[in-house]
Amino acid sequence: MDSWKRLLLENKAWAQDKASHTAEDRPGADKPEFLWIGCSDARVPAERLTGASSGELFVHRNVANLVVHTDVNLLAVLECAVGHIGVEHVVVCGHYECLGIRAAQSRETHGMMDAWLNHVKDTWRAHKDELDLHDEAAAHRRLVELNVMQQVRNLARTTVVQRAWKSAKRPTLHGWVYDPHDFLIRPLVRVDADTPLDAVHQLTSLD
């Protein structure tokens, strides 16, 4: 059987199983509490990692779980989740053995990915002295963590988040990392409305 046909058959089986359940039966179906920004890697689906039910997570995924200030796609998702749905938490979750991070560390060209991965390389350059102290495996794991923490900082610098902090004291930002060896998610950083920001990135006139 063609692989794409199997996916459609699996969908039919799932639909039959769910047919008796309405939206009201599913927790959070109308108002998810979390925006999840994760990696596009097929091994790290947000719902499976967290055991979340359908409707509990508003999800955005891209290569290496980046928050890029010129990424209109991500900013639209952020505006929708924070400004309109009113999520209480935004999670950036990276993972060890990330192919995007490995590609950024390789110094080889990866075609159209190169421009995107330069954002990871910027984090690598900023922490090069620390990363040079590690062997290759440890440096990869540490860069995964540093990348997550940088993306949380990037979130805190957005107009969307700062406006929500001023008006509603939400959302709380979380940086997490998933380890595929023990299947556990570990928190790295947390930032909320009361966390001081560098004055350079503190926005005014947000009304």
Mean pLDDT, the chain, as a whole number? 92
Tell me how far apart the alpha carbons of residues 22 and 56 are, in angstroms, rounded to a whole number: 15
Given this model, what pLDDT does residue 174 score? 97
Would residue 93 show up in a list of annotated catalytic residues for this protein? no
Q: What is the pLDDT of residues 44-56, one digit of tens each?
A: 999 999 999 888 9
Does the active-site annotation cover 39? yes
Respond yes or no: is residue 41 known to be catalytic.
Answer: yes
Catalytic residue among 21, 25, 30, 43: 43
**Confidence check: pLDDT of 198 > 60:** yes
User: For 187, left (φ over 0), alpha (ψ -120 to 50), or beta?
Assistant: beta
Strand partners, 94: 177
User: What pLDDT digit, counting tens, does each position of 15-65 carry?
Assistant: 787 776 655 555 545 689 999 999 999 999 999 999 998 889 999 999 999
- Residue 182 catalytic? no
% of the chain surpassing 90 pLDDT: 77
Choice among 41, 60, 93, 127 that is catalytic = 41
As a whole number of angstroms, the distance between CA 197 and CA 165 comes to 12
State the pairing for strand pair 34-39/89-95.
parallel
Catalytic residue among 60, 93, 95, 174: 95
179 is catalytic: no
From 39, 60, 153, 174, active-site residue: 39
Sketch out the chain's domains with CATH numbers: 29-193 (3.40.1050.10)
Residues in the chain: 207
Q: Which of 16-25, 65-74, 104-113 has the lowest mean pLDDT?
A: 16-25
Give residue 78's pLDDT band: very low, low, confident or very high (50, 70, 90).
Answer: very high
> Which of these is catalytic: 60, 98, 119, 153?
98
